[in-house]
């Protein structure tokens, strides 16, 4: 976004610089909001990458408080003050939520708006004209933030039908259509020249993904959700969630449909199920607190239950500071910060010839305009090297090797490009990142080995 705000393109992903001019089936709204924010940074003279990210994290954290407050109110309304307090505490300090809530990801940013839309429907009073219409508008905004939330919205539409709330259904659809019509129609006209291009691409992609669904990993995702919420207490929440299927159908049905789709879709990762967690907590805490009021099994084994509750909080509080202080893409960010300490870095060379995956480096941490040359799997070394030789001013100052696979062979093949390179530093992904990658919650940064061009920076290494 920093490059886009400065009128530059990076990685060929921004609208206006997409290969073959094809839409990706992703909403432009969240990116557009971040673009406006970076324009504000530019106008106000905020240049430090750390300051920019602190402000962005602060905005996301502020919005996440809406999830906590409204989640508390929903649980309190359905199951009393104790349930509201329990749900609110879990939403605020369940060990991984503070970390995920401030990620600049549409999957995280969309959560407060989904909760707000549900709250308006649950808290409605007769007549329900304004709350239902406003709920549809907010859900349309949520859809425009992240198209994946459409499966949650479909669940709400089904719940309204099953509950016989036809008047609210019509108003909700009206608000939904109005919001999506404006937020998707206008940007697509400005970017693509005609409305709803991205939505059409999303629908086409969804149909393709629907043909690829598999049941082989659905159990795995349910297991991961259970582990993230710390068993055996997560099982209590699951039981409470199931028990509320009728009383809180406006939460249980959309959440269940949402989880089922992303668990069966092989092209999605665990991060896509993230928006379901707060709703599982809200409904689960409500259902569980209602259950234990009259459950003889809890009363007869109160001491065991108290020990389970104590164990849950000990584990959660132990994990909380570790997760909260963790940041993603550590190796990539740290390598860019390291290079930023050198002046006149006109270009860098990223070498990733051992696999086909490609990651954008967080270039704005360099604090200077830098050209990037990239060598991926199957790319011609000769044509790339020849293009670099034609412009000596942009001879790479650093070579960035991703991963350590077959490293000796790869570095030997680099000598025709840079005759005199020397080892500079190695940057590792954080341990927590690696664990989260194992469960496909997020992609961890790989090991990055940094080499300098001794012609420009001889003898400077860590």
Q: Count of alpha carbons within 13 Å of 154, Cβ hemisphere only?
A: 11
Bond prior to 78 in cis (omega within 30° of 0): no
Which residues have a Cβ under 8 Å from the Cβ of 330 and sit 6 or more positions away? Answer: 427, 428, 429, 430, 433, 445
> Per the structure block, which two tokens stand in for 448?
């990055």
Who wins on pLDDT, 204 or 455?
Answer: 204
pLDDT (tens digit per residue) in 47-81: 888 899 999 999 999 999 999 999 999 999 999 99
Task: Give bridge partners of residue 375 from the DSSP assignment.
Answer: 351
CB atoms within 10 A of CB 185: 15
| Cα–Cα distance, 281 to 303 (Å, whole number) | 24
Ranges of each domain in the chain: 2-324, 330-457
pLDDT of residue 5: 47
Q: Count of alpha carbons within 13 Å of 405, Cβ hemisphere only?
A: 9
| Cα–Cα distance, 429 to 421 (Å, whole number) | 24
Query: Does the pLDDT of residue 398 top 70, yes or no?
Result: yes
Q: How far is CA 293 from CA 41, 180, 286, 287, 298, in A?
A: 52, 43, 11, 10, 9
The mean per-residue pLDDT over the stretch 169-175 comes to: 96
> CB burial class (10 A; 0-12, 13-18, 19+) of residue 325?
exposed
Task: Give bridge partners of residue 349 from the DSSP assignment.
Answer: 373, 399
CB atoms within 10 A of CB 344: 9
pLDDT (tens digit per residue) in 357-371: 656 788 888 888 888
| Cα–Cα distance, 77 to 80 (Å, whole number) | 6
- Long-range contacts (CB closer than 8 Å, 24 or more residues apart) made by 168-174: 168/121, 168/124, 168/128, 168/132, 171/128, 171/129, 171/132, 171/133, 171/136, 172/121, 172/132, 172/133, 172/135, 172/136, 172/139, 173/136, 174/133, 174/136
pLDDT of residue 103: 87
SS3 121: helix
Using an 8 Å Cβ cutoff, are 402 and 427 in contact? Answer: no
Bond prior to 127 in cis (omega within 30° of 0): yes
Q: Over the chain, what is the mean pLDDT?
A: 85
The pLDDT-based confidence of 446 (bands split at 50, 70, 90) is: confident
- For the entire predicted model, the pTM comes to 0.87
pLDDT (tens digit per residue) in 311-328: 999 999 999 998 888 777
pLDDT of residue 381: 66
Q: Report the chain's C-alpha Rg in angstroms.
A: 25
pLDDT (tens digit per residue) in 277-309: 999 999 999 999 999 987 888 888 999 999 999
């Amino acid at each position: 976004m920093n490059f886009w705000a400065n009128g530059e393109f990076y990685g060929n992903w921004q609208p206006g610089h997409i290969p073959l001019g094809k839409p990706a089936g992703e909403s432009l709204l969240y990116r557009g909001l971040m673009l406006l924010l970076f324009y504000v940074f530019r106008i106000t003279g905020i240049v430090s990458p750390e300051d920019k990210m602190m402000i962005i994290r602060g905005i996301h954290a502020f919005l996440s408080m809406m999830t906590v407050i409204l989640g508390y109110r929903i649980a309190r309304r359905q199951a009393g003050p104790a349930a509201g307090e329990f749900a609110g505490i879990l939403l605020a300090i369940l060990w991984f939520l503070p970390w995920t809530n401030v990620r600049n990801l549409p999957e995280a940013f969309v959560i407060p708006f989904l909760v707000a839309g549900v709250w308006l429907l649950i808290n409605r009073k007769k007549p329900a004209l304004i709350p239902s219409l406003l709920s549809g508008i907010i859900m349309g905004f949520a859809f425009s933030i992240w198209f994946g939330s459409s499966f949650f919205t479909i669940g709400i539409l089904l719940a309204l039908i099953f509950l016989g709330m036809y008047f609210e259904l019509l108003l909700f659809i009206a608000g939904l259509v109005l919001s999506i019509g404006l937020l998707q129609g206008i940007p697509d006209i400005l970017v693509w020249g005609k409305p709803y291009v991205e939505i059409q691409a999303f629908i086409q992609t969804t149909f393709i993904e629907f043909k690829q669904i598999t049941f082989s990993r659905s159990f795995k995702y349910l297991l991961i959700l259970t582990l993230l919420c710390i068993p055996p207490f997560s099982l209590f929440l699951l039981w409470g969630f199931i028990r509320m299927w009728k009383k809180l159908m406006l939460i249980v049905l959309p959440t269940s449909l949402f989880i089922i789709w992303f668990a069966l879709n092989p092209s999605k990762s665990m991060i896509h199920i993230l928006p379901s967690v707060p709703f599982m907590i809200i409904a689960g805490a409500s259902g569980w607190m209602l259950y234990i009021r009259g459950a003889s099994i809890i009363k007869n084994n109160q001491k065991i239950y108290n020990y389970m509750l104590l164990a849950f909080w000990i584990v959660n509080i132990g994990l909380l500071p570790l997760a909260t202080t963790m940041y993603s893409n550590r190796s990539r960010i740290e390598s860019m910060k390291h290079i930023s300490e050198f002046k006149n870095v006109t270009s860098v060379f990223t070498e990733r010839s051992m696999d086909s995956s490609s990651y954008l480096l967080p270039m704005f941490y360099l604090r200077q305009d830098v050209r990037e040359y990239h060598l991926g799997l199957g790319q011609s070394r000769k044509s790339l090297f020849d293009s670099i030789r034609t412009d000596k001013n942009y001879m790479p100052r650093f070579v960035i090797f991703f991963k350590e696979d077959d490293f000796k062979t790869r570095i030997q093949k680099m000598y025709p490009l840079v005759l005199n390179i020397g080892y500079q530093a190695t940057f590792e992904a954080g341990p927590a990142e690696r664990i989260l990658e194992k469960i496909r919650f997020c992609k961890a940064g790989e090991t990055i080995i940094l080499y300098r061009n001794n012609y420009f920076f001889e003898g400077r290494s860590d």
